[in-house]
Chains A and B, each alone.
Chain A
């Protein structure tokens, strides 16, 4: 790598020297002035414009072809399917606009390249055209807004299903703790002043409802097909709970409780059998083999997605989606916190 940097520096010096020579030379036998743009210049630049467009579009499709199947797998949550649907509709629309407008831009840049014999047309404005490209985007945007807000309201409505599973995600520099309510299905109150070694999430010891709460680290489980209500808190700075496979994200803000609800649709085991995921994992493991790392299996993940300090890049937790039966077994093995003083 050092060699590469050294090489770059040498190249830079050589290039600088060459540039200097080119300039000195061109000053000597100058026929055109710096401000004169010859037909040859315009011709070359006009052609370069259309050439660039071809390269640019080719690069775009090359990227789509190469990297598109490395994007996140299809959503594993109920609302996520709708998000993906809306995403696709929008992406196709903007890709179309991107290609068409860039095409016209570079096409005109080529077609109307300057020529000393030509004269431009005097076209100061055209009200019909201008109305057209004000109204067409406005109508398109109206649809985008309507569908976007419809889904947004559905997603942001509070969790209301009776059998919902409540999970509190507690963030601190630099790890996550999940807290489940016990049999009463209610989380105990918290108080940050009571945080200590044996009370890491700051349970309020005067609230008996917290007595049966359950804490887990490293991974947490949720049942498939059941509404999950995430409640997020933070101990120190802002973090963000990002669960990309479920199309779920919400910041964890000190002094507040934030919410996000979703309904997982595929268990971890099912996801590992999904053809898209199998292909993606094959790619990942091929790369890992090159770097002499052991192969991995697919897992849902919780990441921190708001800058929170030096180890922001490694603040993660596994999420396991179980069948309801497995989930029950897993949860029954957890031990209650019992930090609450019994009265």
Chain B
């Protein structure tokens, strides 16, 4: 691997140059240090804090619509105070606003929290740290990536305050509903802002992903072979590749929708009579939109999941004081999941009128993806087997992730089977499935990452006891919210219904909805524990030691200060894989990657 090494050396050289420069003018202005910073550590904190704020917004939205679903027609001062008299008159949620909340909740959670927030935070923080690089390949593009993300967040939030309300056609924005302003108020200006925000978001995501890929390929320090990289980096790399390949398709998908909305084209529209007149559009097909959307949409699921899985691979191994079980198989699984994720999108479309034969092909490919997923789950469990598990809050969330990954994953086998999908398609069974397997797993991964790398992010420790409390309230409430939804699905309750009370057949499900909502409220309140711990520890937490979790990876060899270029001296040299925990014949139960191999010692990663 001569290329990475020589490039790394070049960067080394440049960094030294920078250092000399740094000593000349010490004073970096506030703006260049904290706002328009090109330092990966600052950018990662910017992503994290933005994502936390967006997550709070999306979470409050979910509480509002959960109140409506459990007690339709009840008057809530809370709803009125949040939405005002227009959308929460007398404290009763407006049906259009209900759909808007569901839409924006989904959009923010999927894109802004679990894509931008998760990848943006941890790819930025960990890629340079864990591969031994001074910074990202392009600090400037990295800065742009964050600021595009920021602008798109602002536009998305702005759309909440306009007269007709935000986009409300569901986060999947299927046309013609999203294309025709006559179809619903949310398809007026709100939809335009949604599309503008997403277009900018895609730019941000592409800039970030390209940077991640180039950095991982080119800037690995000496000795950091691909097969010695921590699984976090493997996960971030594949995630970035998925993003680069799929987000442009979403862009074209959105662009064609913009054309249909604003320039009277007919990509997605045909034979429509609405608002008392037939439209001119003929020849288009909404199915085309669905294909384009889900060509991103399905890889997107793994863009959300893989970083979380990478993070927990690292944490479970470190905390179990054991090498990750089946390192090679884990890499293979990531690659297999990444590849398969591109040929399964049609399983979202079994019931759309897509050719049923095509459906059969997607059944086959989708169920194949269960194999690498199962391998990952089993490998996690086996990593804990015969370990010496240290229960940091990060480890608790990692165990939570494995549990939700399994619990939500098995229902995927049902939904991937087109025959069985017929009756649960678009019901609460689906809502339960994806919230557990994707939502919970990814957010647990994100929490785990925050607790684990908080010392590197903010140089301080988060409070452990509060972390414990946060985990237990969160996992109990999370299962309390999403598990009962399976039973709503079995009773045939469709998703995105403002209320179920128009159908007597759903009258006996009132208590299910009440349990879900009560758990959602408690769960949302208990996130206050995290928010408090997060912001409090940022400023007043205990100062972190060099290597608090006794971890092997390179980020813990950098000084506990934010040094420009990460390592004050030369870059570290890597001699072994990242998982030499409890290796026989060593006095300590961890051997950092920078420790040279002894004579005759084998390297599990290098063979």
Q: Which residues of A contact B (CB under 8 A)?
A: 1-2, 5-6, 8, 11-12, 15-16, 19-20, 22-23, 26-27, 33-35, 37, 41-42, 45-46, 48-49, 52, 55-56, 59-60, 63, 67-68, 70-72, 82-83, 86-87, 90-91, 93-95, 97-98, 101-102, 104-106, 108-109, 112-115, 118-126, 129-130, 133-134, 137-138, 141, 144-145, 148-149, 151-153, 155-156, 173, 192-193, 195, 202, 235-238, 240, 242, 244, 247-251, 253-256, 258, 280, 283-284, 286-288, 291, 293, 296, 301, 303-314, 316
Contact B356 A101 (CB under 8 A): no
CB distance from A311 to the nearest CB of B (A): 7
Contact B272 A236 (CB under 8 A): yes
B254 CB–A CB distance under 8 Å: no
Kindly state the separation between the CA atoms of A155 and B360 in the bound complex, as whole angstroms: 12
Nearest 4 CB-CB pairings of A with B: A255-B270, A35-B548, A156-B356, A244-B492
Contact A112 B389 (CB under 8 A): yes
Kindly state the separation between the CA atoms of A305 and B427 in the bound complex, as whole angstroms: 8
Contact B496 A8 (CB under 8 A): no
Contact B381 A308 (CB under 8 A): no
Taking A192-B271, A237-B274 as given, write out 7 further A-B residue pairs in contact, using a Cβ cutoff of 8 Å, ordered by the A residue number.
A11-B525, A16-B532, A22-B465, A26-B463, A112-B388, A124-B604, A195-B273
Contact A255 B183 (CB under 8 A): no
B177 CB–A CB distance under 8 Å: yes
Q: Which of B255-276 contact A (CB under 8 A)?
A: 269-274
Contact A42 B413 (CB under 8 A): no
B538 CB–A CB distance under 8 Å: no
Q: Which of B363-403 contact A (CB under 8 A)?
A: 363-364, 367-368, 370-371, 374-375, 377-382, 384-392, 396, 399, 402-403
Q: Which of B298-349 contact A (CB under 8 A)?
A: 320-323, 325-329
Kindly state the separation between the CA atoms of A97 and B321 in the bound complex, as whole angstroms: 27
Contact B502 A42 (CB under 8 A): no
Contact B466 A48 (CB under 8 A): no
Kindly state the separation between the CA atoms of A231 and B50 in the bound complex, as whole angstroms: 48
- 0/1 interface trace, chain B 178-201, chain A, CB 8 Å (1 if under): 001001100000000000000000
Contact A35 B545 (CB under 8 A): yes
A90 with B417, Cβ < 8 A, contacts A72-B490, A152-B363 known: yes
Contact A237 B496 (CB under 8 A): no
Kindly state the separation between the CA atoms of A258 and B505 in the bound complex, as whole angstroms: 27
Contact B76 A5 (CB under 8 A): yes
Contact B377 A101 (CB under 8 A): yes
Kindly state the separation between the CA atoms of A124 and B606 in the bound complex, as whole angstroms: 13
* List of B residues within 8 angstroms of A123 by Cβ: 322-323, 325, 382, 385-386
Contact of A244 among B78, B285, B423, B584 (CB under 8 A): B423
Contact A134 B375 (CB under 8 A): yes
Contact A109 B384 (CB under 8 A): yes
Contact B420 A41 (CB under 8 A): no
CB distance from B160 to the nearest CB of A (A): 18
* List of A residues within 8 angstroms of B414 by Cβ: 87, 90-91, 94
* List of A residues within 8 angstroms of B390 by Cβ: 37, 42, 114
* List of B residues within 8 angstroms of A34 by Cβ: 461-464, 541-542, 548
A309 with B423, Cβ < 8 A, contacts A121-B582, A253-B287 known: no
Contact A284 B505 (CB under 8 A): yes
* List of B residues within 8 angstroms of A33 by Cβ: 461, 542, 545
Kindly state the separation between the CA atoms of A134 and B356 in the bound complex, as whole angstroms: 29
Question: Contacting chain A: which of B113-121, B404-412, B563-571?
Answer: B404-412
Most chain B CB atoms below 10 A, which of A23, A144, A237: A237
The interface size bin for chain B is: 35 or more
Contact A108 B487 (CB under 8 A): no
* List of A residues within 8 angstroms of B282 by Cβ: 255
Question: Contacting chain A: which of B38-46, B134-142, B204-212, B508-516?
Answer: B508-516
Contact B352 A253 (CB under 8 A): yes
B583 CB–A CB distance under 8 Å: yes
Chain A binding surface SS class: helix
* List of A residues within 8 angstroms of B528 by Cβ: 12, 15-16
Contact B273 A72 (CB under 8 A): no
Contact A120 B422 (CB under 8 A): no
Kindly state the separation between the CA atoms of A248 and B364 in the bound complex, as whole angstroms: 22
A256 with B353, Cβ < 8 A, contacts A37-B390, A144-B417, A305-B494 known: yes
Contact B407 A236 (CB under 8 A): no
Contact A193 B278 (CB under 8 A): yes
A236 with B176, Cβ < 8 A, contacts A34-B541, A312-B496 known: yes
B581 CB–A CB distance under 8 Å: yes
Kindly state the separation between the CA atoms of A128 and B112 in the bound complex, as whole angstroms: 41
* List of A residues within 8 angstroms of B504 by Cβ: 284, 288, 296
Kindly state the separation between the CA atoms of A105 and B183 in the bound complex, as whole angstroms: 48
Contact of B384 among A70, A108, A308 (CB under 8 A): A108
B36 CB–A CB distance under 8 Å: no
Contact B589 A151 (CB under 8 A): no
* List of A residues within 8 angstroms of B274 by Cβ: 173, 235-237
* List of A residues within 8 angstroms of B604 by Cβ: 124-125
29 pairs from A and B in contact (CB 8 Å cutoff): A1-B77, A8-B521, A34-B463, A52-B472, A63-B484, A63-B487, A67-B487, A67-B491, A68-B487, A70-B490, A70-B508, A94-B414, A101-B377, A106-B403, A109-B384, A119-B589, A120-B582, A125-B329, A133-B378, A138-B371, A141-B368, A195-B273, A236-B180, A237-B183, A249-B351, A249-B423, A255-B272, A284-B508, A301-B505
Contact A119 B388 (CB under 8 A): yes
Contact A148 B487 (CB under 8 A): no
A242 with B494, Cβ < 8 A, contacts A19-B532, A249-B423, A284-B504 known: yes
Kindly state the separation between the CA atoms of A71 and B508 in the bound complex, as whole angstroms: 10
* List of B residues within 8 angstroms of A15 by Cβ: 525, 528-529
Contact A122 B77 (CB under 8 A): no
Q: Look across to chain B and name the residue whose beta carbon is closest to the beta carbon of A190.
A: B271
CB distance from B203 to the nearest CB of A (A): 28
A149 with B329, Cβ < 8 A, contacts A12-B525, A15-B528, A52-B475 known: no
Contact B536 A115 (CB under 8 A): no
Kindly state the separation between the CA atoms of A115 and B177 in the bound complex, as whole angstroms: 58
Q: Look across to chain A and name the residue whose beta carbon is closest to the beta carbon of B548.
A: A35
Contact A309 B420 (CB under 8 A): no
A102 with B95, Cβ < 8 A, contacts A23-B536, A34-B541, A284-B507 known: no
Most chain B CB atoms below 10 A, which of A48, A137, A254: A254
Contact B392 A37 (CB under 8 A): yes
Contact B582 A305 (CB under 8 A): no
A307 with B99, Cβ < 8 A, contacts A105-B402, A120-B386, A253-B352 known: yes
Contact of B507 among A20, A86, A288 (CB under 8 A): A288
Kindly state the separation between the CA atoms of A34 and B512 in the bound complex, as whole angstroms: 40
Contact of B363 among A48, A52, A108, A145 (CB under 8 A): A145
Contact A1 B422 (CB under 8 A): no
Q: Which of B546-590 contact A (CB under 8 A)?
A: 548-549, 579, 581-584, 589
B230 CB–A CB distance under 8 Å: no
Contact B422 A83 (CB under 8 A): yes
Kindly state the separation between the CA atoms of A160 and B61 in the bound complex, as whole angstroms: 49
* List of B residues within 8 angstroms of A248 by Cβ: 422-423
B499 CB–A CB distance under 8 Å: yes
B426 CB–A CB distance under 8 Å: yes
Contact A307 B170 (CB under 8 A): yes
A251 with B352, Cβ < 8 A, contacts A130-B329, A312-B496 known: yes
Contact of B370 among A122, A137, A309 (CB under 8 A): A137
Kindly state the separation between the CA atoms of A323 and B475 in the bound complex, as whole angstroms: 51
Contact B396 A45 (CB under 8 A): yes
Kindly state the separation between the CA atoms of A307 and B583 in the bound complex, as whole angstroms: 56
Contact A90 B388 (CB under 8 A): no
B418 CB–A CB distance under 8 Å: yes
Contact B419 A254 (CB under 8 A): no
* List of A residues within 8 angstroms of B177 by Cβ: 237-238, 307-309
Contact of A71 among B170, B374, B490, B589 (CB under 8 A): B490
Most chain A CB atoms below 10 A, which of B76, B388, B479: B388
Contact A94 B410 (CB under 8 A): yes
Contact of A114 among B269, B270, B391, B487 (CB under 8 A): B391
